[in-house]
């Protein structure tokens, strides 16, 4: 487990910045734990025989909700706890199996302040295996604009995700 | 996808666009144990989920990871007396049946996060059909695109999130 206590502020972020990559060796436990943590009981996420002989794939594979959790962890490792997710958009291209080393990488597409004064960063995050894109995800995350700003205090018209 | 062209969509489907369907209450309150299990599954050390002092300072108390939104609505694998399990995204399956389209894929999934979800919250959800396309042909086959929103609320009727799915229902071999 990583411990994230960073506090990224908008002035620290610039278009084109790259996030530190995260590499992780996926095991059957990764897949099954992720599926059960997200209450996804479908057999292709825990039953090798079903995945291979019914679904025709090489093994059990990571489910979508758990991939979302991996993306969230990756982004908030970078922002620290004051980073607040606003929006995520996924495009699934391929599956992630036990034995794969998945790599998450991210690039800052834009950094801006909205008309309510909230600081926003737009990220493009990729999940690859052996350099092949498996899922990409655009993320809009709010981060503080100053020492005394906290996006989590925003509600109603002051929160425009 | 463009907005619905009502000239190309049957009246009964046009009537459903924007209507609230399949209101559902979560089977159980948002639960701290699942928060920790989910964080453990992805080795997420964000102190918001592990350290009450940080959660109190930053988020006015503990919250659940925003991406767990749909977790709170996945039914138990078994429940006493239950004979039929409802399908998530039932509107999608209704449209497949209505248009006689045996195959379908989801082409996009967007999640928008609003009020934080907190342990103990009792969430409810409903589905809203947002648009249906005229007939389209892609490399998969011939069918229609549709956009469905799944909206989530807490016990104070505050919006906590919206998931939007773009689906393409189709019949093979007509491309």
Are the beta carbons of A90 and B70 separated by less than 8 Å?
no
- The position carrying tokens 């090798």 is A48
Whether the pLDDT of residue A113 is over 80: the answer is: yes
A158 touches chain B (CB under 8 A): no
Point out the residue among A3, A37, A86 whose CB comes nearest to the CB of B41: A37
Residues A103 and A127 sit within 8 Å (Cβ to Cβ): yes
pLDDT at B175 over 50: no
pLDDT at B2 over 60: no
Q: What is the mean pLDDT of residues A88-105?
A: 95
Alpha-carbon distance B122 to nearest alpha carbon in chain A (angstroms): 17
Around Cβ A109, how many Cβ atoms within 10 Å? 15
How far, in Å, are A37, A42, B29, B61 from residue B158 at the CA level?
25, 31, 16, 17
Angstroms from B169 CA to nearest CA on chain A: 17
Is the pLDDT confidence value at B1 over 80? no
> Is the interface score ipTM higher than 0.90?
yes
A159 part of contact set with chain B, CB < 8 Å? yes
Average pLDDT (B130-143) is 93
Q: Which residues pair with B105 in a beta bridge?
A: B168
- For residue A34, give both structure tokens: 């992720």
Instruction: Report d(CA A19, CA A125) in Å as an integer.
Output: 9
Q: Answer whether residue A61 shows pLDDT above 90.
A: yes
- State pLDDT tens for residues B3-13: 566 668 999 99
Mean pLDDT (whole number) for B143-165: 97
Best residue of A38, A63, A118, A144 to probe chain B, by most B CBs closer than 10 Å: A38
CA distances, A134 to each of A64, A130, B144 (Å): 11, 10, 26
* Mean local confidence (pLDDT), A79-105: 96
| pLDDT of amino acid B4 | 62
Give the percent of chain A with pLDDT over 90: 89
Angle at A108 between CA A106 and CA A113, to 5 degrees: 140
Question: Tens digits of per-residue pLDDT, B7-40?
Answer: 689 999 999 999 999 999 999 999 999 999 999 9
Backbone phi and psi for residue A148, each to the nearest 5 degrees, phi listed first? -100, 15
State the average pLDDT for chain A: 95
Question: Does A119 contact B at CB distance below 8 Å?
Answer: no
Give the up-direction half-sphere exposure of residue B18: CA atoms within 13 A in the CB hemisphere: 4
In this predicted model, what pLDDT tens digit does every residue of B81-131 receive, in sequence order? Answer: 988 766 678 999 999 999 999 988 888 899 999 999 999 999 999 999 999
For residue B7, the model assigns a pLDDT of 65
d(CA A118, CA A150): 9
Asked if pLDDT for residue A71 goes beyond 60, the answer is yes
Rounded CA-CA distance B48/B55 in Å is: 5
| pLDDT value for B82 | 86
**Residue A123 pLDDT greater than 90, yes or no:** yes
- DSSP string over A66-99: HHHHHHHHHHHHHH-TT-EEEEEEEEE-S---TT
Q: Do A161 and B116 touch (CB under 8 A)?
A: no
Confidence of residue A4 (pLDDT cuts 50, 70, 90): low
- Could you tell me the CA-to-CA distances from B93 to B98, B129, B157 in Å, in that order? 9, 12, 27
CB of B86 closer than 8 Å to CB of B140: no
Summarised one tens digit per residue, pLDDT across range B94-106 is 999 999 999 888 8
């Amino acid at each position: 487990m990583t411990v994230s206590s960073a506090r990224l502020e908008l002035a620290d972020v610039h278009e084109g910045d790259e996030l530190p990559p995260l590499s992780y060796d996926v095991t059957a436990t990764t897949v099954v734990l992720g599926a059960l943590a997200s209450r996804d009981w479908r057999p292709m996420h825990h039953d090798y025989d079903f995945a291979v002989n019914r679904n025709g794939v090489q093994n059990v594979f990571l489910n979508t909700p758990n991939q979302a959790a991996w993306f969230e962890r990756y982004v908030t490792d970078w922002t620290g706890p004051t980073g607040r997710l606003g929006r995520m958009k996924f495009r699934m291209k391929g599956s992630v199996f036990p034995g794969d080393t998945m790599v998450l990488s991210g690039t800052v597409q834009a950094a801006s302040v909205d008309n309510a004064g909230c600081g926003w960063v737009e990220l493009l995050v990729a999940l690859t295996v052996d350099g092949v894109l498996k899922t990409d995800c655009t993320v809009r995350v709010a981060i503080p604009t100053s020492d005394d700003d906290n996006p989590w205090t925003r509600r109603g018209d002051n929160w425009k995700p | 996808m463009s907005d619905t062209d009502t000239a190309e969509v049957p009246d009964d489907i046009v009537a459903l666009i924007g209507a609230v369907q399949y209101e559902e209450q979560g089977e159980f309150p948002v639960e701290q144990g699942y928060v920790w299990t989910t964080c453990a599954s992805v080795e997420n050390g964000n102190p918001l989920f592990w350290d009450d002092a940080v959660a109190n300072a930053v988020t006015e108390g503990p919250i659940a990871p925003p991406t767990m939104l749909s977790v709170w609505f996945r039914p138990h694998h078994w429940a006493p007396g239950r004979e039929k399990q409802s399908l998530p995204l039932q509107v999608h399956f209704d449209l497949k049946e209505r248009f006689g389209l045996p195959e379908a894929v989801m082409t996009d999934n967007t999640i928008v996060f609003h009020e934080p979800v907190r342990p103990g919250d009792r969430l409810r959800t409903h589905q809203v059909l947002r648009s249906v396309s005229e007939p389209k042909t892609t490399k998969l086959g011939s069918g229609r695109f549709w956009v469905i929103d799944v909206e989530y609320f807490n016990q104070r009727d505050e919006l906590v999130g919206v998931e939007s799915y773009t689906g393409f229902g189709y019949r093979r071999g007509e491309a």
